[in-house]
A and B are shown apart, each in its own frame.
Chain A
Amino acid sequence: MYNTNYHRAESTDDAIAKLGASDDGKFVSGGQTLIPTMKQRLAAPSDLIDLCHIEAMKGITIDGNQITIGAATCHADVATSKELAAVCPAICDLASHIGDPHVRNMGTIGGSIANNDPAADYPSAMMALNAQIMTNKRTIDTDDFFTGMFDTALEEDEIITAVTFPAPAKAAYSKFPNPASRYAMAGVFVAKLKNGMARVGVTGAGSDGVFRHEGMEEALTSDWSADAIADASVDEGDMLSDLHGDAAYRANLVKVMAKRAVEKAG
């Protein structure tokens, strides 16, 4: 790892000021993506501004039907929150299958979403739950937030502070993990919103990162059942193809994971 200067931020304003004062600084939350990347010398920020001590960015609040998760909340806290499990167990289940227990103790939802790894789990849930991404500057609709592999609508000096979404009527996540890395080779989050609309977020498979599958959404909105998506078509041309699985294989996996998720949601 190249050398860097570490700073703890007390507030988002403090973090922005510290970033502004640095040469080529970066925010760090759980570090479970950034530190491995720095160890490989694939990133070399001059400064690291730690967001994990900003109290206002931590914790889960449920206000009526609206769920808000602070960006610096770690995966383990999402996985084990009883309050959250009562209103949206699917997101707890998703968090409980990210990486391993040690990664879950450090990694955060904000870091995962900001990074937008094409195989990360949370982005599919944000898409399906029609979440809004709250930053220190604005609120961004999920459909405008994920702009392609490892790319988001965030500006350089913008911090995700929380994500917020309404509790769905039903939801579930089904993931086919890569046996070595545990990242998704295909992961599908299905949600039936309380307004009757179904939304389907797909991760791990798309060649341009996370995406919504509109065909399945329409089918599920009119008939919430695994059979309803049996004939859905997943375009191989839009799939990732690599040594872990070619495009045809992934296209099929997306359908299988979607059906399993609908069955799991009940």
Chain B
Amino acid sequence: MSSLTMTVNGSEVSGDVEDRTLLVEFIREHLRLTGTHVGCDTSQCGACVVHVDGKAVKSCTMLAAQANGCDVTTIEGVANGDLHPMQTAFKENHGLQCGFCTPGMIMSAIDMVNRKGKDLDEATIRSELEGNICRCTGYHNIVKSIQDGASKM
């Protein structure tokens, strides 16, 4: 067992968990922040993407103990009163159907803008989405949403 303390969406949280606890399990089951999803067991789908110390990571492929002391942002933490511009862009551009992949898509999209800037072409967005799988949309509207959201961030 480990006693963990980290900052999640701006608030300090702590908990005693087994060392095998994945960060996504800590977020969903201990903190009850269920916006972060689990879509696979092979580290490939990206539904679980959160930011740890400002970097996008797959929270299903990191132990909670590895994130001890870190600053974590989940999908619940991106809106500031109003929706985040990237969330609004997904809503306005029909960037989701079932919505299961959406939290990971949005966390990846925000990270993409942080690293690559607001002016993103289609090819860049598509290659940057390598680690995010959507089984519904066919990606076209996700790409459109990200382009739109990026320009408004």
Complexed CA–CA distance, A28 and B61 (Å) = 12
The residue from B65, B112, B115 contacting A6, defined by CB atoms under 8 A apart: B65
Interface centre among A103, A181, A182 (most CB of B within 10 A): A103
Q: Does B57 contact A105, Cβ atoms closer than 8 Å?
A: yes
- Tell me the interface secondary structure of chain B in the complex: mixed
Q: Does B108 contact A4, Cβ atoms closer than 8 Å?
A: no
Q: Does B43 contact A36, Cβ atoms closer than 8 Å?
A: yes
B130 interface residue (CB < 8 Å to A): yes
Q: Does A100 contact B61, Cβ atoms closer than 8 Å?
A: no
Q: Does B63 contact A31, Cβ atoms closer than 8 Å?
A: yes
Q: Mark A1-43, 1 if CB is under 8 A from B, else 0.
A: 1111110000000000000000000001001100110111000
**Which single residue of chain A is at the shortest CB-CB distance from B49?**
A102
Count residues on chain B whose CB falls below 8 Å from chain A CBs: 29
**Which single residue of chain A is at the shortest CB-CB distance from B50?**
A102
Return chain B residues, CB-CB under 8 Å to A1. 20, 22
Q: Mark B111-144, 1 if CB is under 8 A from A, else 0.
A: 1100100000000000010111000000000000
Say whether, besides A31-B63, A48-B19, A102-B49, A6 and B2 are in contact (CB < 8 Å).
yes
Interface centre among B43, B46, B111 (most CB of A within 10 A): B43
Q: Which of A146-184 contact B (CB under 8 A)?
A: 180-182
Q: Does B57 contact A106, Cβ atoms closer than 8 Å?
A: yes
Q: Mark A81-106, 1 if CB is under 8 A from B, else 0.
A: 00000000000000000011111011
Q: Does A100 contact B131, Cβ atoms closer than 8 Å?
A: yes
Q: Does B61 contact A31, Cβ atoms closer than 8 Å?
A: yes
Q: Does B56 contact A102, Cβ atoms closer than 8 Å?
A: yes
Q: Does A99 contact B20, Cβ atoms closer than 8 Å?
A: no
Q: Does A100 contact B46, Cβ atoms closer than 8 Å?
A: yes
**Which single residue of chain A is at the shortest CB-CB distance from B43?**
A36
B76 interface residue (CB < 8 Å to A): no
Supply 7 further A-B pairs (C-beta < 8 A) apart from A48-B19, A103-B43: A6-B63, A31-B66, A48-B63, A76-B55, A102-B57, A105-B55, A182-B130
